[in-house]
Amino acid sequence: MSSQLSIQGVSRVFTSPKGQTTQALTPVDFEVRENDFVTILGPSGCGKSTLLRIVAGLDQPTTGQVLLDGAPVQGPGADRGMVFQSYTLFPWLTIEQNIRFGLRERGMPEREQKERANYFIAKVGLRGFEQHFPKQLSGGMQQRTAIARALANDPKILLLDEPFGALDNQTRVLMQELLLGIWESAQKTVLFVTHDIDEAIFMANRVAVFSARPGRIKTELAVDFRHPRHYTIKTSPEFMALKARLTEEIRAEAMATDLH
């Protein structure tokens, strides 16, 4: 199967107002196939979120390019849906209005907007909360809304930057299973950044491990657990063996960071 997302020689150097430079990414080459669910795992500050922002078109690479279906990414677009760790909903809009926002901006007829919004409201388990405002919802419910908003726009690829990082453990597990269930039915291409090893394995069919800064992809591992997945696989010998290997990879990179 051909690549849907192609990251070609992408590096990123930041320059401070005083002219000091920091290299966040060394040239990264990476391919993501259609319907892949890829998690990017690495120590804090390794550049994985920087790469995701470049794919989203929210930042520009210093060198290299990103291609989506063969076309260069030159800025944000409806073909990529982004979900951040912080709850980026419009506080003055209801849940339904937040989910319809991108559809309205694209000029979709109101009836179609409502139909799509209602479909994804049901999909993420928010029926009955359509007219609530974000401040009236828990963190988990706000992230459900953000995921529904991203999916309602029917992007080619869904980009998630530690979307469950601020949630308590119980809610986090529920949200992982919810997103996997949506992916299994919708078959979207997903690129998911996390620093949680359990989450990286549980969610993905492929894990890409980032090195310490300046970031590069040092290891890729296939995850072959069958779908639908249930959190109980986390106690299986196969899961534990993958976790042990990835823990050692991340530990080595964290130690390299400490030595710099």
pLDDT tens for residues 146-165? 999 998 988 999 999 998 88
Paired tokens of 135: 């401040």
Quick one: 109 and 235 in the same domain? no
Paired tokens of 196: 């949680």
Quick one: 168 and 253 in the same domain? yes
Mean pLDDT of 219-239: 91
Quick one: 172 and 197 in the same domain? yes
β-strand partners of 247: none
Quick one: 15 and 65 in the same domain? yes
pLDDT digits (tens, 9 = 90+) for 67-98: 999 999 999 988 999 998 877 899 999 999 99
Does pLDDT of 259 surpass 60? no
Does pLDDT of 193 surpass 90? yes
Residue found under tokens 């950044």: 193
Paired tokens of 9: 């020689």
Of 182, 206, 176, 193, which is closest to residue 122 (Cα–Cα)? 182
Q: How many domains does the chain have?
A: 2
CATH value at residue 253: 3.40.50.300
- Asked if residue 100 lies in contact with residue 151, where contact means CB atoms within 8 angstroms, the answer is no
d(CA 11, CA 63): 5
Q: What is the pTM of this model?
A: 0.91
d(CA 91, CA 28): 37
